[in-house]
Structure 1
Amino acid sequence: MKTRCMMMAALAMSLMSTALVAQVPRSSHVWIITEENHSYEDATAAMPYLMSLGNQYGLATQSYADMHNSLSALMHLTAGQTVTLDDNTTLFFDVDSIVRQLMLQGLTWRSYQESLPFAGFEGIDAFPYVKRHNPLAYFTDSSTASTAINSVPYPANITLDAGASYNYVTPNLLNDAHDGTMQAADDWLRTHIPAILARPEFQPGGDGIMIITFDEGNLGSDNRCSATVLSGCGGHILTVVAGPQVKRGFRSATWYNHESVLKTACVALGITACPGQARTAAPMGDFFASSALQVQIISPAPNGMVGNPVHFQMDAIAGAHPVSAMIVYADDHEVYRTYSDRVDASITLSGGSHRIVVNAWDSTGALAQARESITVNDCPLNAASPSVTICTPAANATVTSPVSFLARATDNAHPVSAMIVYVDDHEASRTYSSQLQTSLDLATGSHHIVVNAWDSSGALFQAQEFVQVK
């Protein structure tokens, strides 16, 4: 296994010089969808809908799987290394992964699994669901009480779901070309992909990125590592890249593997410490058009209600020249500056409405700007520890939709690891921090609001109230 990994790393380095004139743009929502056990030639011939997406957006003609064996191959897609060779393992692995990096960055993730019996199910199979096709479920970071429930049954209400930063979708055994036919797999994509592409991040001007790929090529007959290395790996596979910023009708002849897909997700989400071999892999930058200097406000959300200190996250996306500085202004007064391409700072502002402007400059002096308005709510926190305070809306308040929610969790003994707000027993939003801020469309009438919080020890604490929407 070590020899194979070294061979793949050497192959990647030898082929990397042909890649990446353009950069992978930043994205707030990355979607990964995996199919099973078929080589490039078979997929291009038997999956017309998937090929239509590739022809409309982008198609990687030289994409290769690291190895055979479903779980091991998918670990390369999510952890950048083999991790295990046992498809039937019941262990959880304390290794670096996309889950760990997302949580360290305060980003969200979700694994949508068709035929999963219930959210957080950890069994190895419940036909036609199998855990080995759900690699995110094997990490210690994803097996706690507050994170295991990120594995949810698919289909969910994909069109209206708030969506996570990183979304991993797996059809069941009958629909991913493993047990069923390739036509069935293609029909599944034809039925379900349009709902994802209807989401806001995939509309014109959006930043969504979707990658559809296979875990491995034909078992027993395709061990290709590249067009010239014909044995030792997992085979030649079809990979499609879609999104508003993807070049239309693009076909890439650049060599890519699973670590390339993982690296693309990392770069898009602003993760610098990409796991395993993905740290040195080439992202799929040639699929995206070059652009001028841009500024993106990640948080707080525009017109949002937030508590103090306000967590600011902004990115400057370089064009032809590197970013030299960024400055954040509140009501025309500078509140933060950095000589880098990212703002990640917590700043205390007075209660009330504020105009936020962030400027970025590149090395030539070119300026890019983004702006928004926010409202700071200085609600008094519950003195008990641990506790949850619902800052807004007030208990028994009469409000109009969309309803702004702001809740904060405090715990003097352990860090707060996650918060979830439920409306009438249905999850509405979640965060991996001590402050949950969102805006929800609610129907007219009375609603029961529950906010749960977990700390790093797994302890659960909550607050609840009723509100009336008129």
Structure 2
Amino acid sequence: MSVCRYVRSRVVFCAQLFALFVLSLSAFGQVPRSQHVVLIIEENHNFNEVQANMPWLVSQGNANGYASNYFAENGGSLKDYLWLASGSCHNASACTLPAGTHDFGCTGNACTSPITDDNIFHELNAHGIAWKVYAQSYAVAGGIVTAADGANGTAYYRRHNGATWYAEILNNLNADGTYDKIVDFSQFATDLANNALPPFVIIVPDGNHDAHDCGSGAAACLQAADNFLSANVAPMLSKSYFQSGGDGMLLVTFDECGGGVNSCTPGNVYTAIIGPNVVPHTVSGVSYGHENALRTMLEALGITTYPGGAATHSAMADFFGGTPTGVLLADDFSSSGVDTTKWSNTVFTGSQNTTVPVNDTNGQLQIGPLPTNATSSSYNGITSRNRYDFTGADAYVQLVQPAAANSNAFSMFAVGNDVNNFYRFYVSGGSLVCEKKIGGTKSQIGASITYNAVSHQFLRIRHDATTGNVVYETAPNNSGAPGAWTQQCSEAWNTTAVPLSSVLFEMKAGTSVAEPNAPGTVIFDNFKAEKPVLLTDDFNTTSLDTTKWSNTVFTGAQNTTVPVSDTSGQLQIGPLPTNATSSSYNGITSVNRYDFTGAYAYVQLVQPAASNSNAFTMFAVGNDVNNFYRFYVSAGSLVCEKKISGAKSQIGAAITYNSVSHQFLRIRHDPTTGNVIYETAPNSGGAPGTWTQQCSEAWNTTAVPVTSVLFEMKAGTSVAEPNAPGTVIFDNFTAAKP
């Protein structure tokens, strides 16, 4: 059983001309501008608890959109509120401080000094955008910014009011200690009735109404929070700006999954985005956190300066159209029960017998024991709770154990639209069959083959975006992951019957006739649906595509005076400085993080820095400033480098750089060996030719988690260069899974 985790692999916008061809594969909506952005932060409960006990909120999330894979960054309330305001926990011992953020001694309860780092309140003030915090019980607690937790016997918590910890506010108080933009919640109804809500609003319920103070138990606590929302927030949703054609955006999230520890089962927190521009019934499986929520709010408000972690995390743009690339859905069935955020205990390809057991047991999906001598069709299984854009995607599952070969019972894996339209593999009576049902008529694709439990242990159905075919493939087991795939059958995908933009996944098993021999229990494991292209850019736009890249570098210091431009269909960095008095690097970093398991990333190095200088041209895949893998070219040499836990070292020997044979640089993860592999290739019409390995070693998954990487291209100088280093030119970047 492999460990499959969602990561912050986020979406890709194809803005170049090539995107007219691939748009359906990777594009999705941007965050629309809004003059009515509202944030509400609830407390200390995980996703499942909320779904079970907050019917009003859940109904709004179902009708609009919610995230099923949203995790808080820290335990301790205040730190999470700070992530939502400035993209950091502001405590170096509690989190890795994102670039541009500092340690202000912040715990879950307080900070030792006012936070002076950039934050959403500073950006709002700087952009002249009005905002207000409406805090329940604030007036009784004293009505001043520094009112303490529980002041005057209230359930007001300053640690739940993030704005009160920033120098932007604390240095500009009124003489009586108040601040005009932080008011008691009683003012909310008045402002709402008078259409006087500012463009950005934070609602801070008190501890009796944010699910924090739970003396009577979690269920009653959450119901009180839900009642507060339905009574006080529902009237806002009836306003014109939250109706069709409006621009309202309400984001409701929870600080963490549990009281102060953020260690729960499950550990995800419920987060909903509500508004007329949200695609109805969105359920996002993308791995998100509070930095993503901050980025989303800023983009909605038209602010393009992103504090802290928001600078390197994407907005939750999939709520506003389409679906993201990367992992669509994954499950290693290691939870204590079927994950109901991913699956429903239903079958969509036929009738269901709910008496057939379906369990998530011993880290596997088990269906059975299947019945013997059943008097009618008896199938059960699971279907994905959501539909997915399957353009250019694939879905596979490990069939650990099919029904007994001496029976005619079926083990089935399907991708499709409804009971009359789908594609599926099945194993029955010792045979493996590719099947389709189109317009209600079932038929076989190709000849059935003898099922082999070793070579056919993984079953995959994929859409070939080039040929337009559905392709059925099998692979052996390789330590819980598929080995090399072998095609079994293929034909044109019927996009009318099974629209690629909206498919379901199903695993089921059962019997169609009486079985004198016991069919046994069918066991599945290690399901994954994914799109192979993670990020691609041929730099053919007129400027840097900021939906894909940020003009930042994550592997070291940045000199923003070094020019970076998307010019003449290329990424150009420079001219690099001569005789610079300090380190002078600039470049771009992917906006999003990606699941790099079994993936590769390459870029064309059209022109490195001048070989008669010591300037550097660099291409990196990594986690943060202290942990990454990269190629660099300097002074005529090509070097494979790594930095692990802050210590840089070379992998293998440096080689003489050859601008022809080394024009493409590739870093990839080999899932079979677990290695990082550095490769080069010549240019072949703007695409890489044959790859040649230059160096390799074991991938350090602790320092550089393979499930969450950034990509970077940069160039610069570390010392004074008497010879002009020139301009570095990159082109044709691609990150994908084979």
Q: TM-score range by the shorter chain?
A: 0.5 to 0.7
Between the aligned residues of both structures, percent identity stands at: 32
Report SS of the residue matched to 1:195. Answer: helix
> Do the aligned residues in 1 keep the contact of 2:33 with 2:247 (CA within 8 Å)?
yes
Unaligned runs of 5+ in 1: 1-10, 291-321, 326-339, 341-470
Quote the Cα distance in structure 2 between the aligned partners of 1:69 and 1:193: 26
Match of residue 211 from structure 2 = 177
Greater helix proportion: 1
Aligned length: 277
Q: Secondary structure at the match of 2:193?
A: coil
The whole-number CA distance in structure 2 between the counterparts of 1:20 and 1:277 is 23
Cα distance in 2 for partners of 1:32, 1:256 equals 16
Q: Give the aligned residue type for 2:204.
A: T
Instruction: State how far apart, in whole Å, the 2-side matches of 1:139 and 1:170 are.
Output: 17
Structure 2 equivalent of residue 152 of structure 1: 183
Change in 2 beyond 3 A, CA 1:267/1:161? same
| Structure 2 residue matching 1:75: 3-state secondary structure | helix
- State the alpha-carbon separation in 2 of the partners of residues 27 and 221 from structure 1: 34
Aligned partner of 1:96 in structure 2 is 118
Map 1:186-265; keep pairs closer than 5 Å: 186-219=226-259, 223=263, 235-265=267-297
Aligned counterparts of 2:275 and 2:268: Cα–Cα separation in 1: 23
Q: Amino acid of the residue matched to residue 78 of structure 1? A: A
Matches within 5 A, 1:427-466: none
Aligned counterpart, 1:137: 164
Higher Cα Rg, which structure: 2
**Residues 331-375 of structure 1: CA deviation (Å, up to 9, x unaligned):** xxxxxxxxx9xxxxxxxxxxxxxxxxxxxxxxxxxxxxxxxxxxx
State the 1:20 CA deviation.
Answer: 6.8
Structure ranking higher on relative contact order (CA contacts 8 Å, 6+ apart): 1
Q: 1:164-187 deviations in whole A, cap 9, x for unaligned?
A: 221111110001000041111111
Give the SS at the match of 1:149. Answer: coil
Aligned equivalent of 1:70: 77
Q: For the structure 1 residues 72 and 20, does the alpha-carbon distance in structure 2 shift closer, same or farther, using more than 3 Å as the test?
A: farther
Q: Is the Cα contact below 8 Å between 2:77 and 2:108 reproduced in 1? A: no
**What letter corresponds to residue 290 of structure 2 in structure 1?**
H
What secondary structure does 1:254 align onto? coil
Structure 1 distance, partners of 2:11, 2:85, is 24
Tell me the distance in 2 between the aligned counterparts of 1:153 and 1:324: 48
Which whole-Å deviations, capped at 9, do the CAs of 1:224-247 have from their partners, x for residues lacking one?
7xx9xx9xxxx3100010011111
1:53 corresponds in structure 2 to 60
Cα distance in 1 for partners of 2:321, 2:186 equals 32
**CA contact 2:78–2:107 (8 Å) conserved in 1:** yes
TM superposition shift of 1:254: 1.0
Q: 1:220 to 1:111 in 2, by over 3 A?
A: closer
- Indicate the RMSD between aligned Cα atoms, in angstroms: 2.8
Q: Is the 8 A contact 2:147 2:158 kept in 1?
A: yes
- Paired position in structure 2 for 1:16: 10
Separation of aligned partners in 1, 2:46 and 2:108: 23
Measured in 2, the distance between the counterparts of 1:114 and 1:270 equals 28
**CA distance in 2: counterparts of 1:25 and 1:170, whole angstroms:** 25
Query: Cα distance, 1:122 vs. partner?
Result: 2.0
One-letter amino acid of the structure 2 residue matched with residue 124 of structure 1: A
CA separation of 1:140 and 1:57: change in aligned 2, threshold 3 A: same
- 2:36 corresponding residue in structure 1: 29
Cα deviation digits, residues 232-272 of structure 1 (max 9, x gap) = xxx31000100111111111111110001000001111111
Structure 1 residues 221 and 69, CA, compared in 2 at 3 Å: closer, same or farther?
closer
Tell me whether 165-174 or 137-146 shows the greater mean CA deviation. 137-146
Aligned counterparts, 1:28-427, within 5 A = 28-83=35-90, 84-85=106-107, 87-89=109-111, 91-117=113-139, 119-125=143-149, 126=151, 127-143=154-170, 144-145=172-173, 148-156=179-187, 157=190, 158-180=192-214, 181-219=221-259, 223=263, 235-289=267-321
Amino acid at match of 1:103: N
8 Å contact from structure 2 (residues 74, 262) kept in 1: no
